[in-house]
């Protein structure tokens, strides 16, 4: 009934705008009706239609920015929220929206400032208290965060997103951590299928009743960063009895050190040695000696815990460079990682990513780069058709590309990790063995833009997205 009402109203608005296209409220309502119908791209264009006519329209800026965030384009959303802050300086919500995007980009100091600006304008704004609490958690101010959590959730620690479907919803309880380390999976939860209640672990008061839900999706994926959050949600779920995707106990076992030790025991798998060291010890004059005593040789890698996508991750070419590299990395502790040479005869490095979803393996991407630190966004894929052809072959037929031995090794890795949703970043060495770079739940399923160069990637992305949705629906039904 709601759907038919929205469609009828949309026809009325279009007819009215044909007679008089100067009515800004109708342009806004048109965008909002498209959004209510789940027609996201039409809603984006409708908001832009209004902004062309009224560049300072507050509702259009906020509405379009929120849509961009929900579809994974936080960079563009930040532009609209920042513009709303400038053009509407006495409104608090644009500061909150901007702060949320800055948090997603891990710019915690600026995000905290944005939330404080919002609270200066509206001291009772719960969204601002929630954002500030999250910022303070990441900055290590536990007492300040606790005060902010109490103001953010005086009636309970949950938020429930609007549901726009026509059939009864699949109710998902989404577990997240304020400190980050969350699986970026919300964009797969179509609000025409799923009604999502989000619980931020650190904000959860003990013994608070959980909302009705058919399946739990634990999006807390970073074991080295989120130990406290994982413990909180494990206690919260102890008596729940509902299917849990990525149980906290399974995620907790996927820290980098623990993974390296257990995965290295598998046949056909190379897991580089990883140990945690105090940063001060590595900066000290005998830092290189300490590493050698633990079995390391140069070159080796240093990484700050809790970061991904190559952030705070550096190659140390020799002992003389150790102190300078360690000094530049954040945090009191650092991972030392043995360097595994995976460069091919053509002089390039490759990194494959495969996902395992509900027990099945799916190819996600192949990045080919001219440097050791391989990430898709910084690789040479955009400029080399031959590299894209190589990726296309991997996506179309992973078994033929990797070979039976490597595929068997990936299957055993997935089985050992015991995650319902996770992934493996890896390369193949000269003997065809799987060299594991990373294996955990934090793997990102990115969108594919409309550039025809990347059209071959869309079927693979759609397969994994559909597999995630099918897993949620299936687990809820059981």
| SS3 letters across 154-171 | CCCCEEECCCCCCCCCEE
Distance CA 155, CA 146 (A): 15
Q: How far apart are CA 387 and CA 397, in angstroms?
A: 16
What does DSSP assign to residue 220?
B
Number of alpha carbons in the 13 Å side-chain half-sphere of residue 415: 7
pLDDT of residue 157: 66
Cα 309 to Cα 105, 312, 382, distances in angstroms: 12, 9, 18
Q: Which tokens hold the place of 43?
A: 């809603």
Rounded CA gap, 288 and 246, in Å?
39
Residue 274 forms beta bridges with which residues?
A: 337
Distance CA 75, CA 235 (A): 36
What CA–CA distance (Å, rounded) separates 100 from 220? 18
Residue ranges, the chain, pLDDT below 70: 155-157, 207, 306-311, 376-379, 478
pLDDT score at 378:
63
Residue 220: partners with Cβ closer than 8 Å, 6 or more residues away: 175, 176, 177, 181, 182, 183, 201, 226, 229, 230, 233, 248, 251
The pLDDT, as a whole number, for residue 305 is 78
Owner of token pair 């058919």: 214
Give the pTM.
0.71
Write down all domains in the chain, each with its CATH number in brackets: 2-152 (1.25.40.10), 158-252 (3.40.50), 273-338 (3.30.1490.20), 349-477 (3.30.470.20)
Q: What pLDDT score does 306 carry?
A: 64
Residues in the chain: 478
Provide the 10 A C-beta neighbour count for residue 74: 19
């Amino acid at each position: 009934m709601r759907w038919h009402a929205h469609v009828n109203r949309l026809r009325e608005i279009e007819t009215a705008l044909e007679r008089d296209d100067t009515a800004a409220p109708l342009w806004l309502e048109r965008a909002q009706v498209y959004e209510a119908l789940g027609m996201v791209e039409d809603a984006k264009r409708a908001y832009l239609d209004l902004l062309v006519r009224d560049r300072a329209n507050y509702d259009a800026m906020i509405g379009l920015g929120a849509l961009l965030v929900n579809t994974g384009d936080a960079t563009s959303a930040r532009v609209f929220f920042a513009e709303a802050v400038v053009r509407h300086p006495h409104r608090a919500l644009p500061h909150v929206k901007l702060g949320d995007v800055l948090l997603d980009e891990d710019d915690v100091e600026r995000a905290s400032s944005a939330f404080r600006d919002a609270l200066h304008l509206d001291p009772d704004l719960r969204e601002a208290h929630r954002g500030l609490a999250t910022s303070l958690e990441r900055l290590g101010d536990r007492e300040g965060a606790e005060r902010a959590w109490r103001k953010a959730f005086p009636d309970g620690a949950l938020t429930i997103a609007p549901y726009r479907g026509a059939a009864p919803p699949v109710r998902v309880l989404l577990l997240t951590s304020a400190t980050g380390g969350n699986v970026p999976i919300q964009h797969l939860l179509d609000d025409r299928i799923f009604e999502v209640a989000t619980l931020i672990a650190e904000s959860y008061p003990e013994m608070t009743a959980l909302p009705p839900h058919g399946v739990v999706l634990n999006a807390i994926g970073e074991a080295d960063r989120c130990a406290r959050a994982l413990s909180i949600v494990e206690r919260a779920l102890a008596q729940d009895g509902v299917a849990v995707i990525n149980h906290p106990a399974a995620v907790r076992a996927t820290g980098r050190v623990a993974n390296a030790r257990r995965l290295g025991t598998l046949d056909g798998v190379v897991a580089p040695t990883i140990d945690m060291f105090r940063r001060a010890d590595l900066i000290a004059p005998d830092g290189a000696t300490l590493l050698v005593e633990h079995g390391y040789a140069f070159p080796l890698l240093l990484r700050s815990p809790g970061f991904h996508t190559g952030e705070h991750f550096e190659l140390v070419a020799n002992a003389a460079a150790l102190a300078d590299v360690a000094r530049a990395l954040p945090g009191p502790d650092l991972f030392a990682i043995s360097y595994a040479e995976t460069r091919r005869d053509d002089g390039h490095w490759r990194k494959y990513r495969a996902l395992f979803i509900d027990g099945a393996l799916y190819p996600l991407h192949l990045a080919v780069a001219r440097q050791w630190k391989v990430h898709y966004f910084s690789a040479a894929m955009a400029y080399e058709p031959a590299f894209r052809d190589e990726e296309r072959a991997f996506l179309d037929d992973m078994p033929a590309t990797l070979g039976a031995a490597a595929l068997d090794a990936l299957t055993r890795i997935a089985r050992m990790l015991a995650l319902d949703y996770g992934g493996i970043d890896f390369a193949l060495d000269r003997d065809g063995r799987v060299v594991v770079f990373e294996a955990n739940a934090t793997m990102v399923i990115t969108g594919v833009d409309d550039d025809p160069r990347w059209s071959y990637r869309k079927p693979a992305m759609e397969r994994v997205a559909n597999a995630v949705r099918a897993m949620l629906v299936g687990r809820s039904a059981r």
